[in-house]
Amino acid sequence: MTKAEVVNKIAHKTGIEKIAIMTIVEEFMNTVKGSLTDGENVYLRGFGSFIVRKRAEKTGRNISKNTTVIIPAHNIPAFKPAKSFMAEVKNNTK
């Protein structure tokens, strides 16, 4: 499902104009990105958590040049679904 499809579905269910829904969805995503960039996790009860995970430094290989490369420690965004959300998806037998 694309962002446009999400906006269409919400607009259809709520009766609110698509442009308003798009603005809200965009602002939600910007808020989550901004929080994660600042190192703050975002917790949405019953849905899940957008968290910052720390990756340790590791050694990688450049196969084409046959050299080793040090990949420095860095942060990555991740999503951890809530238990109730995971149970819903698991039990869906469509």
Mean pLDDT of 29-41: 96
**pLDDT per position as a tens digit, 48-65:** 999 999 999 999 998 899
- The domain of 63 spans 41-94
What's 47's domain CATH number? 4.10.520.10
**Dihedrals phi, psi of 57, to nearest 5 degrees:** -65, 140
Q: Are residues 35 and 45 in the same domain?
A: no
Angle at 78 between CA 76 and CA 45, to 5 degrees: 145
Q: Are residues 58 and 86 in the same domain?
A: yes
Q: Are residues 34 and 45 in the same domain?
A: no
Number of domains making up the chain: 2
**pLDDT per position as a tens digit, 63-75:** 899 899 999 999 9
- Across all residues in the chain, what is the average pLDDT? 94
Q: Are residues 63 and 21 in the same domain?
A: no
Q: Are residues 48 and 93 in the same domain?
A: yes
Q: Are residues 92 and 57 in the same domain?
A: yes
Q: Are residues 34 and 3 in the same domain?
A: yes
| DSSP track, the chain | --HHHHHHHHHHHH---HHHHHHHHHHHHHHHHHHHHTT--EEETTTEEEEEEEEPPEEEEETTTTEEEEE--EEEEEEEE-HHHHHHHHT---
